[in-house]
Structure 1
Amino acid sequence: METKKKTMDILVIGLALFAMFFGAGNLIFPPFLGMQAGESWFTGFLCFFVADVGLALCAILSMIRIGDVSMEGLTGRLGKVPSTMINLLIVLCIGPFLAIPRTAATTFEMAILPLFPNVNSWVFGAIFFGLVLLLAIRPSGVIDIIGKFLTPLLVICLLALIFKGYQEPIGDIVPAVVEFHTAKEGILAGYQTMDVLAAVVFVIIVISSAKAKGYTETKDTMSVIIKASLVAAVALFVVYGGLAFLGATTSAGGFSDLNQTALVVAITKSLMGHAGVWILAIIVLFACLTTAVGLTSSCSSYVSELTKGRLSYGKLAGIMVVFSYVVSNFGISTIIGIAAPILTLLYPVILVMIVLGFFHHRIENNRIHQFAVIFALVISALDVVASYGYAVPYIDMLPFAQFQCGWIVPAIIGGLIGKCFSKGDDVYAQEMA
C-alpha cells in the first residue's frame, strides 16, 4: 500500500510539474524550430529540450541540494545587492516585461485573430488583463478548475493533433533551404521559454507539495522530486518532440512567411479543419489566462515582500497588469525579439549558479561564484553585441560558441581565479552568521 501511495504521489507531483512548465506560450517554439530545421528537426528539438526542460529540472535539484528553496538561496553567494538585482530581473522577465505580456499576445494571435480578424488587440488586451487582475486580486476556485480540467484537455488535443500529423503528414520533410544553425537555434528557443527562470519559483511549490504528502526528510523529498521530474520530462519530451515533428512536415514550403503563432494555427487548420482552430482557440485562451494569473500573483508577492510591504500586493498586481497590457500590444514577434538579448545575458548567470549549487557545501569562498558569474556575464554581453552585427574579435573561436555557450570556459576560468583569492576562510559562513 505504501509503495502504491508513493507511486501515485510521484505521478501527481510529476503531472503538476508538467502542467506548470507547459504553458500555452511554449506551443509556439517547437513547431517553428521544426519548420526551420527541416530534416535536422530532431537535433534542434534535443537542443531545445535540454536548454528548456533539462536545465529547469537541474535548477530544481540544485536548489534542493543547497537546502534553501528560495531565490535568495540560489543567488545569495553573489552578495546581497547583486543577488537582489538578479532576482528582481528574473521576476521582471517572467512577469510584466516578457512572460505575462506574451500570454496575451499569444492568445490574441492564436485564438482571436484566426476567428475574429477585425478585433483590435487593445480591446482584447483590456478584457484579458481585466480578467487577470480580477482573478489575481481575488483568487477563487476558478483557477483550480481551469488548471485541473483544461490542462489535461489541452494535452489530449495536442496528442490527437500530433498523432494525426504523424499518420497524415502535411508535407515532406526537406533540408533547411537557407543556412540554419540548428543546435544554436534550438538552445535559443529553449531559453525563450523562460522555464529555467520560472523553475526558481516553481521549486517552492513542488517542495511544499511533497512535504504536504509526508515526505519531510531531505532524502525522501529528493527521491520523490527526482522521480516526479522524470515523469514530467517524459511527458514534455513526447509533446515537444511531436510539435517539432509537425513543424518539420511544413518545411517543404508554403508556411515560411508565418510567425510562431500563425504557424501553429495553420498546422491545426491543415490537420483538423476549422473546427480544430476553434478548439485550439478555447484551450489556449484559458491556458494563457491561468498562466498570466499565476505569474502576476507570484511576481507581485515577491516584490511586495522585497519592499517589506511598503508596496501592497494589490497595487503591485495592478501595476504589473497595466504594464503587461501595454507591452502585449507590441506583438509576439517583437516580444520575442526583445527577450532574446535579455535572456542571453541572464541565463548564463543563472546556469553558473545552478551548477555551483550542486557543490554548495564544498565551496568555501564566495569569490568562486562571483568571478565565475562576472566572466560569464562579460562573454554573454559580447555575444549580444555581436548579435547586432558589431565585430567582436575571437568571440566565435571560444569553445561551444556555436551552441551559444561560449561563456562556459571563461566562467570556469573565472571560478579558478576566484579560488585564488581564497585564503581558506569560509566567507559564506561568515556572511551568513
Structure 2
Amino acid sequence: MKKTRLDWLIIGLALFSMFFGAGNIIFPPSIGLAMGKHWIISALGFAFTGVGLPVLGVLTMNKVRNFENFAGGISKLFFTLYSLLLMASVVFTNTPRTAATAYELGLLPNLGNFHISPIIISIIFFLVTLYMSINPSKAIDRVGKILTPTIVVIVISLIYLGVTHKIGNPGTPHVHANAFGFGFSQGYQTMDGIMAGLFSMVILADLTTRGYKKENERASIIKRASIVTGLGLSIIYFGLFYLGATANQYFSPNILRAQLVANFVHMFLGQYGNLIFGICVIAACLSTAIALTMVVSEFFSKTYGFAYKKVAIVSCLVSGFMANFGVDKIVKFAEPILGILYPITIVLIFLGIMNIGNQNVRRFCVSVAGLFALLQIIVDGTNIMILEKIFYSFPLASQGFIWVIPTVVVGVITYFFNRKSEKNVVEVQA
C-alpha cells in the first residue's frame, strides 16, 4: 500500500469509526435529557472521558510505540494477567455486544411481526466482520472510506434536524447530581478510553504497511489523525447532548436510551426513520467489531506468535457464540471486569503520556488503583451496609473514583522518594 497525502484523514476517520460505536449514539441524548439546562457542563464532563481519554490513549501508544511498553515496566506477571484479561473482555464482552446491539437496536425494530433467530444474525454479522478484518490494511481503508461516512451522514442529519426543528427548551434536570461529574462517569460507558491503546496498535501497524517507517512520520500522522477523531467525536457528542436536552420536558426521564433515540429518528426522519437508524446502528456496531477483532488478532500475533488469520477466526467464533446471550446479560457480565480494567488503564495512559518509566512508581500506582477498584466491586457486590457506609465516606467514592486520590498521592510520594534515593546514591558515588 502506497502513501497518500490524505492518509492522516483516512486514519483519523477510521479511528473515529472505531470509537464511535452504537453505545456512543445512545448515551449522550439520554444524559442530555437527564441534565436539561445543565447539559453543556455535563457534556464537557462526558467529553473528558469520552474524547480526552481516547485521544490521550492514542497519543500515549504512539509515544511508547507498542503495547509492551504501555503495560510493561511493572512485572511480567502483571503484563500477562492484564493483557489476557483485556483481551478476554474484548472477545467475551465487547465484541459480542456489538452483534447483540446490532440485532436488538438495528434490526428488530424493522422486522415488525417477522421473526429471525439472533443465531443467524450473529453468524452473518461475524462472517462480515471476519472478511473485513482478515486483511488489516484493507480494513482500515474500508472502515475509513465506507462505514464512517455512513455513520456521520445519518447522525449529522439527525442532529441538524433536531437543532432546526427543536422539540423545546432545556428545562430542570431530572437527575440531582453534579453535572460535570455525572457526565464524566457516564463517559466510561463508551469504553473508548480502555480500548484506545489497543486500537492504536492496529493503526501503527497499518502506518508501517503504508510505508511510514520513520518514527517522526508516524507521529505526525497520528497527531493529525487524533485531531480529526477528537473534533469528530466532540461535534457529534455535543449535538446529541443538545438533542436530548431539548426533549427534557417532552419525554419521560425513565425512557430507555435506545427508545429515546428511536423516537428522535422517527420524529425528524419520518416513516423511514427506523430503517435509517437501523443502518446507522449496524454500521457503527460493525465498524467497532472489525476494529476489536483486528486488535485481538494483532496482539496474539505480535506477542505470542499465533497466526493472525487463525486468531481472527477463533475470536469471531467465540464472540458469535457469546452474542446470543443478549445485550443486558453481556453488559452485566462485563461490569466487574471493566471495573478493574478501567482505573488501571487510565493510570497507564497518564504514566505513559507523562513519560514516567520508573518501575516503583508504575508498580505502586497500578497496585493502588487496582486494589481500590477491586474493593469497590466487592463492596457493591456484597451489599453489606456497614462496609458501604465506611467505603462511601471516602472522597469521590460515590462517583466511582475512590481510587483517584490514593493513586495520585502514592504516585507523588513514590516519585519524589525515588528521586531523593537516586540523588543520595549519586552523592555517595561522588
Question: Normalising to structure 1: TM-score of the pair?
Answer: 0.83
Give the Cα separation in 1 of the matches to 2:199 and 2:175: 38
Which deviations, in whole Å up to 9, do the C-alpha atoms of 1:49-80 show, x marking residues without a partner?
111210111122223333xx221111111111
Counterparts in 2 of 1:321-340, with a 5 A limit? 321-340=316-335
What is the CA RMSD across the aligned residues, in angstroms?
A: 3.1
Query: Residue in 1 aligned with 2:406?
Result: 410
Indicate the SS of the match to 1:274. helix
Q: CA deviation at 1:393?
A: 4.8
Give the Cα separation in 1 of the matches to 2:403 and 2:206: 36
Query: Residue in 2 aligned with 1:128?
Result: 125
Give the Cα separation in 2 of the matches to 1:233 and 1:138: 26
Determine if the alignment matches structure 1 residue 88 to structure 2 residue 98.
no
Closer, same or farther: CA 260–327 of 1 in aligned 2, 3 Å? farther
Indicate the SS of the match to 1:132. helix
Closer, same or farther: CA 174–393 of 1 in aligned 2, 3 Å? same
Indicate the SS of the match to 2:110. coil
Indicate the SS of the match to 2:73. helix
Give the Cα separation in 1 of the matches to 2:202 and 2:139: 19
Query: Residue in 1 aligned with 2:351?
Result: 356
Query: Residue in 2 aligned with 1:57?
Result: 55
Residue type of the alignment partner of 1:410: P
Which deviations, in whole Å up to 9, do the C-alpha atoms of 1:314-334 show, x marking residues without a partner?
554343323323332333334
Closer, same or farther: CA 230–273 of 1 in aligned 2, 3 Å? same
Residue type of the alignment partner of 1:405: F
Give the Cα separation in 2 of the matches to 1:173 and 1:288: 30
Give the Cα separation in 1 of the matches to 2:269 and 2:151: 15
Query: Residue in 2 aligned with 1:201?
Result: 198
Determine if the alignment matches structure 1 residue 286 to structure 2 residue 279.
no
Q: State which of 350, 363, 366 in structure 2 corresponds to 1:370.
A: 363
Residue type of the alignment partner of 2:25: L
Structure 2 unaligned segments of length 5 or more: list them. Answer: 424-430
Indicate the SS of the match to 2:248. coil
Give the Cα separation in 1 of the matches to 2:197 and 2:259: 31
Residue type of the alignment partner of 1:292: A
Question: Normalising to structure 2: TM-score of the pair?
Answer: 0.84
Counterparts in 2 of 1:133-148, with a 5 A limit? 133-137=130-134, 144-145=141-142, 147-148=144-145
Indicate the SS of the match to 2:241. helix
Closer, same or farther: CA 146–302 of 1 in aligned 2, 3 Å? closer
Determine if the alignment matches structure 1 residue 154 to structure 2 residue 151.
yes
Structure 1 unaligned segments of length 5 or more: list them. Answer: 426-433
Give the Cα separation in 2 of the matches to 1:90 and 1:395: 27
Indicate the SS of the match to 1:38. helix
Query: Residue in 1 aligned with 2:427?
Result: none
Indicate the SS of the match to 2:170. coil
State which drifts further: 101-110 or 158-167. 101-110
State which drifts further: 375-384 or 214-223. 214-223
Indicate the SS of the match to 1:78. coil
Indicate the SS of the match to 2:422. coil
Query: Residue in 2 aligned with 1:176?
Result: 173
Closer, same or farther: CA 63–129 of 1 in aligned 2, 3 Å? closer
Query: Residue in 2 aligned with 1:319?
Result: 314
Q: CA deviation at 1:134?
A: 4.6
Over the matched positions of the two proteins, sequence identity in percent amounts to: 33
Residue type of the alignment partner of 2:369: A
Answer whether contact 1:33 1:247 (CA < 8 A) is retained. yes
Which deviations, in whole Å up to 9, do the C-alpha atoms of 1:229-271 show, x marking residues without a partner?
2232112111111112222233325454443323222221121
Q: State which of 7, 22, 25 in structure 2 corresponds to 1:24.
A: 22
Closer, same or farther: CA 230–143 of 1 in aligned 2, 3 Å? closer
Give the Cα separation in 2 of the matches to 1:314 and 1:214: 22
Indicate the SS of the match to 1:275. helix
